[in-house]
Each structure stands twice: as structure tokens, then as C-alpha cells.
Amino acid sequence: MAYYRKFPPGIHFDLQVLNNLLNSLLKHCLLREVFQVMSLSIMFKMLPALKILLKTFECVATMKLRNAVPALIDIFCKLVEAGMVLDPEHFNYIIKLLYQVQASKQEITEVLEMKSRLQMRQFIKNWKCDLESALNEIEHYKEKGDWTKLGNLYINIKLGCEKFADFQRFCACIAETLTKDCKEERPGVPFCEFAETISKDPQNSEVDKTLLGRIGISAMYFYHKLLQWSKGRKVLDKLYELKIHFTSLKGLTGPEKLAPRCQIVNIAAEIFLKSGSLDGAIWVLRESEWVINTPLWPCDRLDVLNRHNLLCTIAQEILEKSLYRQTFEVLQNLPGFQNSQAYIFNDVFCKMCSLQIEYAFLMVEKKKKKQRCLSFISKTVEVSQYSLLFNKLLDACIESNSLGISSSVAEFMISKSIPIDFSFLRRLITSLGRSCLWLKARAHYKSALSLGCYPPLEGNLYRKLLLIPSYLSEIEMLLAIEIFMVSNASSIQSPGTPTQVLQVVLKRCEENKSWSKDDYQAAVERLIMAARISDPKLFIKHMTVNVNKEQVYSLEHCSALKWLKENMKWAG
């Protein structure tokens, strides 16, 4: 003993000799020496035989050596921690012996805790063997193309797995396997068969849905890269069928593991679009709440640009189907219209400009056309396509007499400073008035005035003179007269005889040389109609023709006063 305390066991050390020594000491009931030898052997990880340990417990129990129990349990715990393996029946036998020697509850609990720790250690060891075996089975099922059995393997492994990290590793292997089967002659999609099997499991949970969603994203990326739109569509259809909200998940392997949410949604929407499902593309965008760039889901510039191009394409296709509300919904979610996206959108186009300038100069070196390239770049980075798309939608809505959505589109364009085609805005105002939607017509008319759609009124209003361009519709003429009356309300409503007549001049179109006498006469009739459709009616009286051969009218004071009395609550 003294020797081994100073020197470790050498090449001549024999474990059998150690066991024989301990056996002899036990026969002579030399427990103190047994404990010393065992402690020394544990120090050098030279563990005695299990039967020696059991004999030691038997000796203590037979001789009723209660005082030896603490030291024995201490050695027992150290032996288990050092690697000694006991079966459940061995633990049961030891506990039985401890009860015979009247061991305390705490001492018995220590033994039971070592039993649990040993079982866990054994389980982990077995699980590692099972995991390696399962990974080999994955390869086998891939070669056979048996995706249903792969699904069953997933279910079995899930039930036996203790650590979620290990199970994720297993799922990552499945994701890689499901995205390796790219042979065109195989009509089926491995992911769909695999997911269908798992969905039928009675113990299918939200965790399974999340993992299936992440595996599905990896499959979706795979088919998108290969331009296999129909297979990618089947993956998305299966995710939809299983009610898996994949737009808030990431993939399990490859670049999709770190992909921003915007990119995942872009790819899914593009797969739907390329496979002929416009509804699917819109669904996935709505499902993601049209998210592009947020602090929680940051994305890079290329993703924003791809979203821009994707939404423009979708909007064009929906507009061709005369689905105006859906088109407006798509256009409203273009990059730059949400506060959290505006800064990155502007940055995107700045970066686009920088990249395209570099490209342009390379082209210049080859073709010696620097000015032409720079001109092309400046046009590319303008956001004029927004104006074109919105105006095209506005035109189509007005043409189909969809006045509600037309009004909403115009309001949005004005609020976002999107250049609006004045001819469309005027048509909208006229259509609203002819449909007796006066509140909307008046609101848009005032906006149009501020935008410069009509000649400014301010210079003539307080001189009691209203100049009305002859090209206006009867609705626009009436709205101009209404503003004219409201601006002169104090004068009209003052008691006594009016000192100055309110005059209306029907201006000729100097810009349009093609206008004939008939055109001007039609404008006169529109002015008279404008007075008639007013509520209450207005009366205008022809006064004279000025030097420019323009008709001059006076607005009858009583009718103007009556109009103000009935309308001043909203007009003022």
C-alpha cells in the first residue's frame, strides 16, 4: 500500500492479483484494509470486480457493521463514477442489504441516485449507437427511395431521443437526404411522402410541425435553385395542407439556415408564380404580413430589390385580370411605403446606382459610349415605375367605374407623393360627381388644386371674378364655383344690396388650337348644366363677351346666398 501511494501501477500490475487480495481481506473481515485498497485502486482507475463490491456489502450486512455503511457508500459512489457498471438487479440487491443493516433513508437515496445516473449514462451511450445506426438507415432509405419508411424512422427516433440538439442533427441529415433526389424521371417529391407519414402520427406536435417546416424550406430552396417549379410547388402545397406557417421559420441546412425572412418569402412567392399560381404567391405574401425589413427580421439589399421586382410582376398580372383591390394591396406593400423599410429601400437604389455605374464604365471601356451608359443608369435608379404602375391601376379603375377603389388609389398616391396623371385625377373627380359622391369629389378637387392640376384661383377670388377653363367638365366647373362662393361668403352674406357682382368668365383654351366654336359652345352648355345640378340650384346670367371673345356671366346673388345657407356647415 505504501509503495502504490508513491508510485503508480507499472506494466507488471495484475488486476486479478488485486481481486485476490481484496477477496482474502474480506475473508478475514479486514474491512478497513479493503476500503484502503479500493480507494487506492479508484485513484489509478484500476477497478475491482463487481462481485468483490457485492461481497463487501454482504460482509457489512452479515456482521451488522452499521458504522461502516457511510464509508462503503462513499466508495460505491466513486466506483460507479469511475466507470463500474451495475445492472438494476445489482442495485436492488445492494438496497436490500442496506435495509438489513438499517441504513438511513439518506444513504439509500444516494444509492438510488447513482442508479439513475448510471441508467442515464447507459441511455446516452445507447442513443449514440442508435443515432449512428439511424443515420446509416437514412442512407439506405434514400437509395431505395422509400420516404415513408424514412418518416417512420423519424417517429421512432423522436420517441427515443433525449437531447433536442441530437434530434436536430438527425433532422438536418434528413433535410440533406430529401434534397438530394433530383432525378427528373421520378415524378414524386420525397418531402411530401415523408411529411405525410409524420402528419399521421397520433403524437404529432407543434415541434414536429416546426421541424417539418424547416425541412420543407430546405426542400423549397433546393427546387428553386434547380428551377424545378412544379416540385417546389408541391412542397409548398404540402406545407399549406399541414397548416405549417413556414414564413416565420428558417431552413435546417445550407444558406437557408441563415436566410432572412424576406428572402424565404420571396422564393416561395416566386415558386408559386412560376408554377402558375398567382393566388398562391399572394397568399404567401399575406401570410408573412408583407414583411420586408424589420429590426427583428433584417435582410440585405438584394432581397429588397428582388421583392420590388416580384411585387411589380404580380401587380401587372393581377391588373390584367381586372382584380383592382388585390392589385392595390400589392402596390401598397412595395418597398419604401412602410416606415421600417424606407431607409433600406433608398439605400438599395443608391447601391444599385453605384454597382451599375461600375458596370457602365466597364462597358464604356469596350464600346466607348460613356455618356449613353450614364444616361441609362440615371433612368434605371428613378422610381418612376411606381408612378406608372399606380397610374395604370387608377386608369383601369376609373374606366371600369370602380370609384371606391379609384378614390383610395388616388388618396394613397397623393399621400405618398407619387406623381399622379392629372387627366386620370380629373376623370375621377368628374365620375365621382356624376355618381353623386360629392364629398369625395370635393376632397379630390381640393387636392388637385394644391397639386397644380387646375389654374390657381387665389388671384381672382377676392376680386369677385372666377375664371373657368372651358375644357373642364360640368362637375369640375361646379366645384370651382362652390369654392368661389365659399371664398366670397362674407360678401354674399352681408346685409343690404351687394356692391359688386360675382362674375364667371368661361376661358378659351389657348393651348389647344384645334378647339372649334362647337367645342366652346359645348363648354357653355356644361357651365349652364353645372349651375342646374347644384343643390340648391344656382342661377347664372349672361352679361357680355370680353375682348378675348369669352362669355362672361354673373352669379345671381339670391341663389348663391341660398346655397351658402344650406351648405355652409360643411363648406365653411
pLDDT band at 28 (very low <50, low <70, confident <90, very high): confident
Closest by CA position to 56, among listed 23, 89, 84, 104? 23
Q: Please, what is the angle between helix 50-62 and helix 69-82, to 10°? A: 170
Res 369 pLDDT > 50: no
Res 461 pLDDT > 60: no
The amino acid present at 5, given as its one-letter code, is: R
Would you give the distance in Å from CA 487 to the centre of its chain? 51
Radius of gyration (Cα) for the chain, nearest Å?
43
* Predicted pLDDT of residue 406: 98
Count of other CB atoms within 10 angstroms of residue 320? 10
pLDDT band at 308 (very low <50, low <70, confident <90, very high): very high
* Residues 6 or more apart in contact with residue 362 via CB below 8 angstroms: none
Place of cell 369654392: 483
Question: Rounded CA gap, 340 and 294, in Å?
Answer: 6
Res 207 pLDDT > 60: yes
183 φ, ψ (degrees, to nearest 5): -70, 125
Q: H or E segment at 543?
A: strand 540-545
282 φ, ψ (degrees, to nearest 5): -70, -40
pLDDT band at 494 (very low <50, low <70, confident <90, very high): confident
- Rounded to the nearest 5 degrees, what angle is found at the Cα of 128, between the Cα atoms of 122 and 133? 125
Question: Rounded CA gap, 298 and 562, in Å?
Answer: 61
* Predicted pLDDT of residue 122: 60
* Predicted pLDDT of residue 35: 85
DSSP 572: -
Q: What is the pLDDT of residues 29-54, one digit of tens each?
A: 888 888 888 888 887 777 888 898 88
Using omega within 30 degrees of 0 as the cis cutoff, is the peptide bond preceding 536 cis?
A: yes
Res 511 pLDDT > 50: yes
The bridge status of strand 503-507 relative to strand 465-469 is: parallel
Res 572 pLDDT > 80: no
Q: How many CA atoms lie within 13 A of 182 on its CB side?
A: 15
61 or 355: whose pLDDT is higher? 61
Q: What is the pLDDT of residues 54-73, one digit of tens each?
A: 898 888 888 888 888 899 88
- Mean pLDDT for the stretch of residues 436-455: 95
- Mean pLDDT for the stretch of residues 361-389: 46
Q: What is the pLDDT of residues 258-275, one digit of tens each?
A: 899 999 999 999 999 999
**Cell triple for 408:** 383610395
Average pLDDT value over all residues in the chain: 83
- Mean pLDDT for the stretch of residues 374-383: 35
Res 482 pLDDT > 80: yes
* Predicted pLDDT of residue 121: 61
**Lowest-pLDDT choice from 176-190, 350-364, 388-402:** 350-364
Question: Rounded CA gap, 435 and 130, in Å?
Answer: 75
Closest by CA position to 498, among listed 549, 559, 439? 559
Count of other CB atoms within 10 angstroms of residue 161? 18
Q: What is the pLDDT of residues 227-254, one digit of tens each?
A: 999 999 999 999 999 999 999 999 988 8
Res 383 pLDDT > 70: no
| Dihedral of the alpha carbons of 379, 385, 391, 395, in degrees to the nearest 10 | 110
Closest by CA position to 395, among listed 361, 373, 424? 424
DSSP 47: P
The amino acid present at 389, given as its one-letter code, is: L
Q: Are 271 and 262 in contact (CB under 8 A)?
A: no
Closest by CA position to 275, among listed 228, 308, 307? 228
pLDDT band at 373 (very low <50, low <70, confident <90, very high): very low
Question: Rounded CA gap, 87 and 115, in Å?
Answer: 9
**Cell triple for 510:** 389657348
Count of other CB atoms within 10 angstroms of residue 99? 11
- The beta strands (E) that lie in 120-240 are given as none
Question: Rounded CA gap, 17 and 570, in Å?
Answer: 111
